[in-house]
Structure 1
Amino acid sequence: MNIKYKNLVKTFNGNVAVDIDELNIGEKTILGLVGNNGAGKTTLFRLSLDLLKADYGKVEMSFTKQDNTFFSTDVKVDEEWKNQTGAFIDESFLIDFLSPEEYFEFIARVNNIDKKTLDIRLKEYAVFMNDEIVGKKKLIRSMSAGNKQKIGIIAAMINRPQLLILDEPFNFLDPSSQNMLKKMIINYNKETGATILISSHNLTHTIDISNRIVVMEHGKIVKDLDNTDIKAKIELEEYFNM
């Protein structure tokens, strides 16, 4: 999946949340989006998913469809990109009156995934779930914040998306689960060539998994760094006074 942001502006009550002249993100990229609170990271993700309407500008997505034809669209104009996208931003993405099993089955049906395929894919995340999510006869709303986070992440990956967007995915996870998630993200990118966008306040985790890092402040991009072989680490630590 390729993503292009062009002259993208979003304001709330006169305050600029996002102001990006141009940003292009290509296939196979794991892009880490970092910045202090209020930098505009989550707003950018919501604009990317057409959950917010921009004041100006547009978000374009282009990808190769299953029939090997090339497709490009403004996210506001056509919804076919949604079939190629998985995302988890916060608990609002969950249907918390369902059990995890019911929620995964709902996501599968929306993506035309049969029960056998769903079961196979869920087995891949068995270690990550740590025997705390499925088979517990509990509703999502009764689960811990960490397990809700896991459910949202797994659901975002069930349809094998070409574009995966995760906002603060390491929040609420214990250290072992954080390390497992890092491996999951890196392996998924290597296996599928998917474009992955990660926002996180955890600079160490972001540096570990990203091959490109964008720093946002007050809605603007202030740094766009190549992080191949962790080469951006020193510059980022200096920028954030670590």
Structure 2
Amino acid sequence: MITIQNLQKNFGEKRAIDIEEYTIRQGDMLGLVGNNGAGKTTLFRLMLDLLKADNGNVVIDNIDVSKSEDWKIFTGAFIDDGFLISYLTPEEYFYFIGKMYGLKKEEVDERLVPFERFMNGEVMGQKKFIRSFSAGNKQKIGIISAMLHYPQLLVLDEPFNFLDPSSQSIIKHLLKKYNEEHNATVIISSHNLNHTVDICPRIALLEHGKIIRDMTNENHSAEKELEDYFNAGEAPESEPG
């Protein structure tokens, strides 16, 4: 599904991404974890051709993302609320997204039904523009819009951000179900290890732009390894002076 080769991205003198080779298979549900500044969002932006690589490439289904846009037809992504059109209502935005992928209004309505609990009566029918919604509800709108056209590749950066515990639980269930029912490749990044370990059978650990561990996560088997890694990276508390 996705092949990354000799991928490098520099910001000034800092090398933000440096991945020699990495493959993500069709149907993988991959969690990308790492500390702030590890390069998670930069990697996603390179994968989605939102940033130009200094070296190497990302190939999705034999398509080099920097040389063709054909991969966009079967890809859904939400990185941040910059993806949204703030002067539309959620309904207008969902129908706009649907139209881009050839979906009729009725089809969009039908595909929104499974998200009703997730929206919790706070998104549809509010008669206000997206820019007026809370960060949590913008997050919901972005995630739903990325999934509307049933993409074979779904990329979500920090999908649990800004969501209350109930919404986090619901989206975990929806993502797992989506991955299984559509055999879709789902890639998420998250600071929240518990959520990632709960739903991702494969976990990649990113440090200083490199994937330093690629873990199979059966029955939460990666949990201890991740906790040990992140705990070891914590700075000791300074003594009162």
Count of paired positions? 232
Matched, 1:204 2:203: no
Deviation digits for residues 84-130 of structure 1 (CA, Å, limit 9, x no counterpart): 00000001000011100011011011111111110100111111100
Matched, 1:171 2:170: no
Who is 1:183 aligned against? Answer: 173
Amino acid across the alignment from 2:139: Q
| Identity, % of aligned positions | 58
Who is 2:20 aligned against? Answer: 21
Amino acid across the alignment from 1:3: I
Who is 1:69 aligned against? Answer: none
Deviation digits for residues 133-190 of structure 1 (CA, Å, limit 9, x no counterpart): 0111011010111000000000000010000000000000000000001000100001
What SS is found at the alignment partner of 1:16? strand
Who is 1:231 aligned against? Answer: 221
Who is 2:209 aligned against? Answer: 219
What SS is found at the alignment partner of 2:43? helix
Matched, 1:42 2:32: no
Who is 2:236 aligned against? Answer: none
Amino acid across the alignment from 2:16: A
Supply the distance in 2 between the matched residues of 1:205 and 1:134 (Cα, whole angstroms): 27
Deviation digits for residues 168-218 of structure 1 (CA, Å, limit 9, x no counterpart): 000000000000010001000010010011000001000001010001111
Supply the distance in 1 between the matched residues of 2:17 and 2:181 (Cα, whole angstroms): 32
What SS is found at the alignment partner of 2:121? coil
| TM value normalised by structure 1 | 0.94
Bigger radius of gyration: 2
Supply the distance in 1 between the matched residues of 2:218 and 2:57 (Cα, whole angstroms): 29
Who is 2:30 aligned against? Answer: 31
Supply the distance in 1 between the matched residues of 2:158 and 2:63 (Cα, whole angstroms): 27
Q: CA deviation at 1:229?
A: 2.1
- Mapping for residues 66-105 of structure 1, pairs under 5 Å: 72-105=62-95
- Mapping for residues 47-66 of structure 1, pairs under 5 Å: 47-62=46-61
What SS is found at the alignment partner of 1:125? helix
CA RMSD of aligned residues (A): 0.8
- Mapping for residues 73-152 of structure 1, pairs under 5 Å: 73-152=63-142
Amino acid across the alignment from 1:48: M
Q: CA deviation at 1:21?
A: 0.2
Matched, 1:157 2:131: no
5+ residue gaps in structure 1?
A: 63-71
5+ residue gaps in structure 2?
A: 233-241
Ranges of 4+ aligned residues in structure 1 off by more than 2 Å: none
